């Protein structure tokens, strides 16, 4: 009897020791996977055979850890049972999958019952496969806008017709859904980028010098001819004007894009007239500095540097101001009008009415109420709409005149200030309306950051990475702030429960 108890104690002790070794082995693997994923490093190697000099990042990192920790060294690699190394690709993917599931659960908990917006954008990865990134945008309980990355999925067909049909079906099922074309985002990025681009203007003298060198030094007839034509174009007044115009007009159009909440007619009338005179002054100053001929604006315009009988009679000023400057502005405004329709502009007006940056100039209760009925008919019951009007009346007398609510520049800041002051509980319907507006983005860089991360992970040497593994890797990398809060015990318990569930 005593011998039996002694054997049981020995067996129990051995089992506990093996369990401890397994947990330490698994801890080492989990931390290695987390660290490598945060650094966008590959886990596996192309050759993990015993004779390989480089067996992949995960194995090499574990070997490095063993050199600094004898306890870890005693339970990993060669000092482990053959079937319990925990270094197989399958287990690596399972652990990464556990991380991603827990991240998505955290995002679900943060959203709770809040309204959220789904941001979708498309790009090609290194293997030329079309990938669509899915971002969730919502306002958390503290009033902060959150845009966590949620998933990336491969699609076979992203042609315009297919996407248009899918969007049409979605809008048919959800008539109150809000849709912003991705080109609205790309247009804004292009405007901002172009307005800051002035490299050629800064390097104009150097560029002309290089072209002169090519045309004068030893080169063949074709190269000399190309260089002479290029120099002639570069040193023409029209080229200099267009060069300055592109920089200035993109800046003007970007200002229009930023000012969509204002009266569109006023912007259109003011910007071109104010912009032409300053543009012409800058161009003349540039031409004088670089000794470029400046034509008389009252003379008849002639195409090129000679006269032609077939040209329409018009002044040089008319050509540059009307045909070039105004035409370009009109084209940009037309594009903005196409991308930002009346539906979108009304939403901007509603946002501006609640924004203190505009000094509440457009805060009109009847207009706000009409827009709420138009855009949020299913988000407010009839009873809530009735109380919303009453809350707006009290809000106008209380918040609009309160000093703490006068220095805010964004609607998001107003939402946070209402949450901090607990006025969001008093004006809970207005707070709900503000949160609904904040979930509707015109443009966001979050999807672009997701694709930038994808290029770091799926490189030319890793084009065979699977779609699910890529999605998991991206989620852990992008949402590392959430992943850092997961303890090793949380991941291990999930891993063991998953194994027990499979056995059952």
For every residue of 294-336, DSSP letters joined together read: ---TTSBP-STTS--TTSPP-BHHHIIIIIIIIHHHHHHHHHH
Section 237-250 average pLDDT: 78
pLDDT band, residue 401 (cuts 50/70/90): confident
Which tokens go with 477? 């990398």
Q: How far apart are CA 418 and CA 425, in angstroms?
A: 8
Q: Which of 87, 112, 134 is the last residue of a domain?
A: 87
Q: How far apart are CA 121 and CA 150, in angstroms?
A: 12
pLDDT at 256 over 60: no
pLDDT at 11 over 70: no
Res 315: pLDDT: 85
Closest CA to 184 of 63, 290, 337, 391: 337
Same structural domain, 228 and 305:
yes
Q: How far apart are CA 68 and CA 54, in angstroms?
A: 19
Q: Which of 319, 339, 359 is the last residue of a domain?
A: 339
Q: How far apart are CA 389 and CA 365, in angstroms?
A: 7
Instruction: State how far Cα 436 lies from the chain centre.
Output: 20
Give yes or no for a contact between 152 and 476, defined as CB atoms under 8 angstroms apart. no
Q: Which of 339, 371, 395 is the last residue of a domain?
A: 339
pLDDT at 125 over 50: yes
Give yes or no for a contact between 412 and 144, defined as CB atoms under 8 angstroms apart. yes
Same structural domain, 194 and 302:
yes
| Long-range CB contact pairs, 149-154, < 8 A, 24+ | 149/446, 149/450, 149/474, 149/475, 149/478, 149/479, 150/104, 150/107, 150/475, 151/471, 151/475, 152/450, 152/454, 152/467, 152/470, 152/471, 152/474, 153/467, 153/471, 154/129, 154/130, 154/467
pLDDT band, residue 173 (cuts 50/70/90): low
Give yes or no for a contact between 215 and 253, defined as CB atoms under 8 angstroms apart. no
Res 325: pLDDT: 82
Res 34: pLDDT: 93
Give yes or no for a contact between 325 and 249, defined as CB atoms under 8 angstroms apart. yes
Q: How far apart are CA 124 and CA 131, in angstroms?
A: 6
* Lowest model confidence (mean pLDDT) among 37-46, 431-440, 463-472: 463-472
Q: How far apart are CA 117 and CA 124, in angstroms?
A: 23
Q: What is the pLDDT of residues 192-220, one digit of tens each?
A: 545 444 455 666 777 777 777 777 775 67
Res 104: pLDDT: 92
Res 51: pLDDT: 75
Res 27: pLDDT: 87
Angle subtended by helix axes 382-398 and 428-438, to nearest 10:
100
Which tokens go with 352? 């501006």
- What residue has token string 């106008």? 396
Q: What is the pLDDT of residues 216-231, one digit of tens each?
A: 775 677 777 788 888 8
> Number of structural domains, the chain?
4
Which tokens go with 246? 């592109």
Same structural domain, 225 and 321:
yes
Same structural domain, 432 and 451:
no
pLDDT at 35 over 90: yes
Same structural domain, 423 and 448:
no
Q: How far apart are CA 307 and CA 315, in angstroms?
A: 13
pLDDT band, residue 372 (cuts 50/70/90): confident
Section 266-282 average pLDDT: 61
Give yes or no for a contact between 405 and 399, defined as CB atoms under 8 angstroms apart. yes
Q: How far apart are CA 126 and CA 146, in angstroms?
A: 29
Higher pLDDT, 110 or 358: 110
Residue-number span of the structural domain to which 194 is assigned: 185-339
Section 82-108 average pLDDT: 86
- 152 bridge partner residues: 133
Same structural domain, 250 and 390:
no
Provide CB contacts within 8 A for 289, sequence distance 6+: none
pLDDT band, residue 4 (cuts 50/70/90): low
Same structural domain, 44 and 145:
no
Q: How far apart are the first and last CA of the chain?
A: 35
- What residue has token string 């009008």? 337
Q: How far apart are CA 349 and CA 367, in angstroms?
A: 9
- What residue has token string 């652990």? 95
Same structural domain, 190 and 335:
yes
pLDDT at 347 over 60: yes
Q: How far apart are CA 378 and CA 500, in angstroms?
A: 45
Same structural domain, 313 and 214:
yes
Provide CB contacts within 8 A for 434, sequence distance 6+: 354, 411, 414, 415, 418
Res 260: pLDDT: 44
Same structural domain, 79 and 100:
no
Q: In what helix (H) or strand (E) does residue 151 lie, and over which residues does it extend?
A: strand 149-154
pLDDT at 91 over 70: yes
Same structural domain, 216 and 236:
yes
Res 299: pLDDT: 83
Q: How far apart are CA 473 and CA 483, in angstroms?
A: 12
Same structural domain, 83 and 98:
no
Higher pLDDT, 9 or 295: 295
pLDDT band, residue 284 (cuts 50/70/90): confident
* Lowest model confidence (mean pLDDT) among 321-330, 341-350, 445-454: 445-454
pLDDT at 64 over 80: yes
pLDDT band, residue 292 (cuts 50/70/90): confident
Q: How far apart are CA 305 and CA 303, in angstroms?
A: 7
Section 394-421 average pLDDT: 83
């Amino acid at each position: 009897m005593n011998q039996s108890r002694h054997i049981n104690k020995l067996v129990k002790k051995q089992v506990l020791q093996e369990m401890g070794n397994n947990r330490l082995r698994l801890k080492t693997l989990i931390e290695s996977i987390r660290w490598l994923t945060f650094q966008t490093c590959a886990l596996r190697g192309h050759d993990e055979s015993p004779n390989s000099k480089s067996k992949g990042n995960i194995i090499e990192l574990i070997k490095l850890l063993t050199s600094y920790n004898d306890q870890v060294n005693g339970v990993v690699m060669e000092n482990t049972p053959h079937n319990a190394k925990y270094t197989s690709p399958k287990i690596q993917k399972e652990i990464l999958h556990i991380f991603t599931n827990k991240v998505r659960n955290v995002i679900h908990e943060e959203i709770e019952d809040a309204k959220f917006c789904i941001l979708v954008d498309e790009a090609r990865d290194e293997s030329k496969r079309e990938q669509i990134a899915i971002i969730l945008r919502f306002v958390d309980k503290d009033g902060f806008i959150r845009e966590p990355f949620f998933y990336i999925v491969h699609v076979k067909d992203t042609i315009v017709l297919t996407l248009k049909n899918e969007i049409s079906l979605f809008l048919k099922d959800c008539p109150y859904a809000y849709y912003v074309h991705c080109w609205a985002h790309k247009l804004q990025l292009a405007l901002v980028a172009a307005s800051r681009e002035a490299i050629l203007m800064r390097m104009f003298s150097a560029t002309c010098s290089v072209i002169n060198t090519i045309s004068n030094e030893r080169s063949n007839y074709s190269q000399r001819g190309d260089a002479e034509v290029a120099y002639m174009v570069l040193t023409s007044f029209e080229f200099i004007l267009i060069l300055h115009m592109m920089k200035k007009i993109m800046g003007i159009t970007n200002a229009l894009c930023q000012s969509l909440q204002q009266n569109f007619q006023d912007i259109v009338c003011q910007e071109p007239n104010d912009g032409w005179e300053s543009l012409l002054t800058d161009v003349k100053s540039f031409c004088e500095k670089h000794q470029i001929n400046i034509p008389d604006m009252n003379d008849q315009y002639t195409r090129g540097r000679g006269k032609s009988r077939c040209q329409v009679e018009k002044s040089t000023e008319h050509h540059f101001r009307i045909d070039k400057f105004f035409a370009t502005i009109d084209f940009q405004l037309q594009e903005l009008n196409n991308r930002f329709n009346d539906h979108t502009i009304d939403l901007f007006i509603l946002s501006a009415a609640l924004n203190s940056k505009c000094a509440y100039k457009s805060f009109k209760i009847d207009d706000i109420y009409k827009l709420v009925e138009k855009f949020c008919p299913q988000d407010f019951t009839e009873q809530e709409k009735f109380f919303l009007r009453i809350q707006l009346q009290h809000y106008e007398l209380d918040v609009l005149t309160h000093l703490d609510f006068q220095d805010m520049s964004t609607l998001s800041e107003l939402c946070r200030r209402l949450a901090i002051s607990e006025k969001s509980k008093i004006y809970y319907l207005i707070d709900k309306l503000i949160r609904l507006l904040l979930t509707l983005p015109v443009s966001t860089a979050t999807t672009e950051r997701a694709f930038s991360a994808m290029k770091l992970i799926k490189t030319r040497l890793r084009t065979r990475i699977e779609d699910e593994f890529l999605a998991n890797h991206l989620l852990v990398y992008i949402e590392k702030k959430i992943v850092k809060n997961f303890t090793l015990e949380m991941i291990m318990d999930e891993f063991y429960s998953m194994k027990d569930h499979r056995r059952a």
